[in-house]
Each structure stands twice: as structure tokens, then as C-alpha cells.
Amino acid sequence: MLAQEMASRGLAVLCVLVGLGQVGSSGQAGREDLNPAVLYPWRQRSSGGLSRVKRDWIIPPIRVLENSKQVPENLVQIKSDKIFTGEVIYKLEGPGVDQDPKNLFEIDDKTGWIRTMIPLDREKYRSFTLKAFALSPSGERLENPSTIEIVVLDQNDNRPNFSQKEFAGSVSEFSIPGTSVMSVTATDADDPTTDNAILSYSIIGQESIPPLRINKTMFGINNETGAIYTRDVGLDREVVQGFRLKLQVADMSGMGLTSLANAVIHVTDINNNRPRFSPDQYTMSAVENKVDFVIGWVNATDNDEPGTGNWETKYTIAKGNPSRNFAIRTDPVTNEGILSVVKALDYEFQEVHTLTLTVENVNPLSNKAPMNPVSSATVVVTVLNENEAPRFNKDPIEIVVPESVVPGTVLASNIAYDPDNAKLKYDILRDPEGWLIINHETGEITARKPFNVRSPHVKNNIYNAVIRVRDTDASGISTTASLVITLRETNDFEPRLFPLMGTVCSESGRKTSGLFLTAVDEDLPPHAEPFTFHLPDINVSANWTIIQVNETHAVLRPLVELETGEYAVTVLVTDSGTPSLSAYGQVNVTVCPCGKDGECKTEAAAIFGTRVGVSFIALLVIMASIALLLLLLLLAVAVGNCRRHHIKKGEGLLVGDSDEDIRDNVLNYDEQGGGEEDENAFNIDLLRNPVDVGPLPISFYPPVSGIPRGKQPLRKDYPDNLPSPSYPRKPPADPTDIEDFINDGLEAADHDPNIPPYDTALIYDYEGDGSLAGSLSSIASASSDGDQDYDYLNDWGPRFKKLANMYDPR
């Protein structure tokens, strides 16, 4: 009925025929595993009708056991209920057929039987989803592909496996029952949803380390979780160091396949044993006056685990060591106590020392340990005598003295002694400044001379010296000590005022008016600053005041408006030493008018308006007056001589027989460089008051006339070939007008473009090796002018005839 209905609607049905006897190894089991509700979905009714999914029927999964030995094994047959005129070919695709893993399944293309080709392994492939096709011989699809799911059923074919072959754990000794020790784990590759993978743990063997120390069962295991725990008391590491357990795990809740493993459990140590001295009596000896040497060893035993803090010991000197002469430490390898001397022993002071030692562990004792007392031992140390070196009572020897100590002052005495009561001898090994003297017999140290805190050998007010003392025995053992002298600063120097001169503004109301003063003191604090400044003169303090600015400076200011000039102000400066020292200083203050910036308008402002002593301007006036008087006297003498000897009545000074230009008779000598402007003129005073200057140099004589003009350098500040200016032609009649005459000539020469310029090399003609002219001293004579004969001037040439006429008495 159903097939006819579906065929009438044009639907195709793919029928699956299942070989019930070939599903599993047992036909009955395979039949029972089939689910008719899944295999025949069209038989179910839903809302009074058939249930279907469009045109394809739901195919139930095909189940097959893994590891089947019957291969090939038919699993399922597919058939199409559609009527075809030709042959139907069946094909199968999917994983296990033509996809990896390949060649696990095949299909008979004519009958449609799907079968396995090799045994399946569920641990590798749990299920397969395949596609079945019904095709015509030409390859045309006759039906839509049908999905076939094949599920591989699990078998208990895998043993459970421990994660380790041997497990390791630890537990403290004396642990109580139920103490967790460790956990072990195992895995099973079978289906975890089946009994094939349900595991169960158990301990099947126990062995103590060392063997046969404990026979009772000390550990248990949780069969589901694998947690191992203690079951009994009596875990003592000193008795047994550990246990070796044999473990087993089985699947199917302990009824299936099994595997074995080992577990090693170490019993860890706790500090439950006190160390004990062995033996507890010792005798040792030590030489006096030696330090840092070992005198013996002591031993203690501990039953706890060696190399741990529970076994390591620490020793203490409980009694007999009040001066800390002895010390004890632990040998980290042997755990023994090493006793040594760390401070020199003195045979004369104590010959025998009895020490009481105690020993404990580094780690604190466990509360599970028995309450035994702390172990102790007695050590008797005998001190051996030897010849000892002298000893200083103090090292270093510290002395505090003032730097100005009086020579001969005793600085130190009774500084050393000899333990063997030998006679001592003292000397100074180091005294770079030579400030000290020592008595070689008594060791008394005295000052040779005053100290100086500014010495380069004094650092931070401390002077260091070295003293040596030795005994006079044959051995001559010596000892040295440092002498540390702290120099106390004393007030030795007076403060010096600075600066001693300066300027202030004359306006008293200026805030900036004033001179800042300070002081310099060679002493060191506290004998230097702060300084105090004071005006001791009452008269000065009426016009001036001094204001303290800080500990080192003060400002000097006028109280009233003072006239410009120089003032001497006496200032008293005092230091802060004990006792304090003072010094007077005279400050030369220049009062001057100041500008807006507070600076003096002129540097010479202090010269004017002086009030104290003879001022500088007065000295200048006096000296200028004297110089002026001397100058006037010389001029008067010179003028008198000229009038008496050289001026004729009614004639001027420069008088001649000819009216020619005086410049034609007065030689114009060129100059080298721009000297005084009047050097181009003739020096008439030389002829009026001749002096004996000896033979003249060649350059004094006039150049030879007729020099070509091109040989002289030309002035570039005037155009060339300009005419020369007109020179004054007649001399003045009055001798007092000679200066004007000369100045007119000089001015004309300065503007003459045809004369050489200044600062040029002038060209002179060679005038021969000698001169016929005699010394100029012949001109000067102590006799009167009337006694002189000037006729010889006519013999000098035409240029000197005019000069001869000037001095002719006729």
C-alpha cells in the first residue's frame, strides 16, 4: 500500500536490507541491538498518519564490533524499489571507502551489499558516515544518495596504563595516619562510557628501606583516585628511610585487564634529636699576646639527617669568656666546633681560663622531639707565658691643646708600661713640624714651640705624630702608637678692615649711597666672624653712620649731605673670638655727586671740596704757580737780552739791506714726518741765543738748490700744478709781532700744494764728508755783542751774508 502510494506520487524508495545474522558475532545479540523504531520509521504513526522526511527514509545506524575476525563481513544491503527496465549499479563513497582511511569498506555494485574488508579498531575510528548511490549503467542517478552511518562498538582490548613506571613521594617522619603522601594516575584507551575504561587502584606490595625494618602496612590508596596516604604510626627516619610500594590498576572496576607500577616514598627528617657533645671534657693551651689562631676542636653528634639544618650545629661559649678573648665557629663539613683566640691573652693577668660550651641545631627543635636538656662541655685553656712587648696605655694617644701653647708645656705623661716590668726607652718616630720633645726615660711629651693650625700637616685641626717605646732587654721588643693632637683655635690675629678706600654719593637721602665694608681675619671660626663695626670718633659719627648688614659686612653712610671731596673715616672692627680682638682702620671716602644710576658723574669728583689736610688741588695750584713764575722769569731774561743786543733803534728784529722776502734768506728745511707745524719756519731764537752744540750733522745743512721737482713726493690732498699761496713779504717792525709773522708763514706753507706732504721720506743732496763751518759754540760767547766779530759769516756764502749784516755792530 505504501509503495503503491509513493510510486503513484512519482517517489523512489531506497530499501535497506539488513542481514540480521551478520551484525555481530552473535546473531541473537545483533538482533536485539536493532531498533525497529529507527530501522522502520515509516511504521511509526504521528497524529494518525505515517512519518517521513520528504521523500527519503531515515536509515538507522549500522553497528559493528571492533576486532571482528570474520572478514569480509556483510553489514547491510541497499536496494531501490523503483522499477527499472535496465540494470541497477550501486556505489559507495566516503571515509573508509575512497577517502582516508581507504579500503575499510566495499559494496557489491550488483547486489548492494556493504561489507568490511579488514577488522576495525574503535580506538582509531569510532564511526563512519558513507553515501550510497543507485546508478544506471550509463551513470545516471536513479535515486538520491542515501546516508549510511556505521558505528564501531568497543571491546575491552586495551589494558590500563600508569602514567609513570615509578612514582616518587615523601612524608615527614612521625606523621599521623591519614596524612596525604602522593597520588598516582593511569589511563585506558577503551570507551570511557563503558566499563572497559573504569579503573580501580590497589597496593599489592610494601617493602621498607632498609629492608625488614617495618613489617606492618604503613600506607593505603584510594581505589578510585589513586591517592596514597598513611595508615599507621611509627614512621621514624632514624629507623627507616623510606618504602617501596607495588601498585596495580585494573579496568572494568578491578575485574578486567591490569597493569603494575612502583612507588618510592621517602621518609623526611624533622629535628627531633638534640646534638650531644662527645666527649664533654677538653684541655687546651694558648700563647699569650697572640690573636686569631686556633687552639682546638670540640665534637658533637646528631642523629638527624646529615647535611640538613636539623643536623648542623652551632656552638656557644656560655661561661668563662667575660673579656671576649675566645670565639668558636662550626666546621661546615665535619660539624665540629673550632675554638680560637680572638683577643690577646695575658699570662700575668690570668694563667688559666675555664670555658663552658653549649651546642644546638641551626633549625629549631621539633615539638615531636623528646624534652632532653641542652648538651654542654667544659674546656680548660692554659695560658703560656712569653716575653711581651711594651704596651701603651692608650692607642692612639689623644691630646687637645690650644695652638698657642707655651713651649715647654707638658702634653702627655705615663703613656706606656712593660708587662714584664722591663726598663723602657721612648722616642719620636714622626713629627713633621718638630713641635714635640719626649723624655727618653719617662716618656713625658712636651711642646718644643707653639703650634700653627695652618700648617700643611694639620688636617681638620688634627696633627699626627708617632711615638715608639721599646724595652731595654736583649730582645729589644718595641711598640708604636699614634699621637693625635687636636689643636684648639685661639684668637691670634686682629681683623683687618677692607676696603680702605671707596666712593659714596654726596646726597645723604640716596638709598644706594654708602660704602660696603668687611674684614679679613686669619683666625678660624669661632674666632673670626661675625664681625662688629663701630665709629669710635664722636666727631666723625656726627656726619657718618655704620650699619651692620650681616655677620661679615657693614655699610658706611653719611648722615648729612656732604660736600664733594675726600674724607678720612676711622672705623673700629672687632671679631668674635675669646677674648675678642679689635683693630682700627682709616677709610678714605671720596664723596661725589652721583647720577641716577648711583655712580659718580666724574672720576675726579673727589678731588674738589676736600676737607682733610692739604688737598690735591691745592698742591696742583702751588706747583702750577711756581712753574708759571719760572716761565715768566725765563721770558723776561730772554726779552731783555734781545732788546739789549740785537734791536736797533727804529728797526725790527729781522732787518736787512734788501727788501727781498725774508724766506729767500731763511733756509726752509724739509722734515721727515709731521712734527710741529712751526718747524718749517726758521728758528730765530737759535741765532739770537746760540748754544754750543758741536759739529752739526749733515742733515742739518740746507739741500743743494736745483733739485728737479719730480724727485720730491707730491701732496695728494691738493690738485697738482696749483699756484703756491703768497707768503708774508715784510717782517714786522715790532719784535713782539714775530710770532704772528711766523704763524702766517706756517699757515701759508701748510696750504702750499707744491711742498712735500707730511710723513714722507724727504730727499737731501749729498753735501760732502765734512763742513767748513766751525762749531756753533763760536756764536755763543760770554763777552758782549760788541766784542764779537761776525765778518767771517761773509765767507760762508751769500746765504749767510744777511745773517752777518744782522750782527754787524756798525
Sort 476 into a burial class: Cβ within 10 Å, 0-12 / 13-18 / 19+.
exposed
The answer to whether 522 touches 493, Cβ cutoff 8 Å, is yes
Q: Which string of DSSP letters, residue by residue, matches 365-433? A: PPTTS--PPPPEEEEEEEEEP-PPPPEESSSSEEEEEETTPPTT-EEE---EE-TT---EEEEEEE-TT
Cα angle vertex 463, ends 430, 476, to 5°? Answer: 30
Distances from the Cα of 155 to the Cα of 18, 65, 333, angstroms: 23, 7, 62
- Closest residue by Cα to residue 201 from 168, 239, 240, 245: 245
Distances from the Cα of 50 to the Cα of 7, 44, 82, angstroms: 16, 6, 20
Taking only Cα atoms into account, the Rg of the chain, rounded to an integer number of angstroms, comes to 70
Cα angle vertex 485, ends 483, 488, to 5°? Answer: 175
Q: Which residues of the chain have pLDDT under 70?
A: 1-58, 81-85, 474, 507-513, 597-598, 602-616, 642-736, 753-789, 799, 807-810
Give the rounded distance of the alpha carbon of 698 from its chain centre: 81
- The whole-number pLDDT of residue 763 equals 53
Q: Parallel, antiparallel, or unpaired for β 501-505 and 582-592?
A: parallel
> N- to C-terminal Cα distance for the chain?
197
- Closest residue by Cα to residue 302 from 366, 242, 355, 243: 366
- The whole-number pLDDT of residue 96 equals 86
- The whole-number pLDDT of residue 49 equals 38
DSSP summary character for residue 641: H
3-state secondary structure of 101: coil
Q: What share of the chain is helix, strand, coil (3-state, %, to 5)?
A: 15, 30, 55
The answer to whether 471 touches 424, Cβ cutoff 8 Å, is yes
CA distance 367 to 30: 69
Sort 159 into a burial class: Cβ within 10 Å, 0-12 / 13-18 / 19+.
middle
3-state secondary structure of 321: coil
3-state secondary structure of 97: coil
CA distance 366 to 269: 10
CA distance 190 to 705: 149
DSSP summary character for residue 622: H
Domains and CATH numbers, the chain: 62-153 (2.60.40.60), 161-268 (2.60.40.60), 276-384 (2.60.40.60), 391-488 (2.60.40.60), 496-592 (2.60.40.60)
pLDDT digits (tens, 9 = 90+) for 89-109: 888 888 988 888 988 888 888
CA dihedral 578, 579, 584, 589 (to 10 degrees): 30
The answer to whether 383 touches 357, Cβ cutoff 8 Å, is no
CA distance 531 to 585: 14
DSSP summary character for residue 250: E
What single letter denotes the amino acid at residue 357?
A: L
CA distance 453 to 405: 11
CA distance 702 to 687: 16
- The whole-number pLDDT of residue 655 equals 42
CA distance 444 to 613: 62
For 711, phi then psi, to 5°, come to: -80, -20
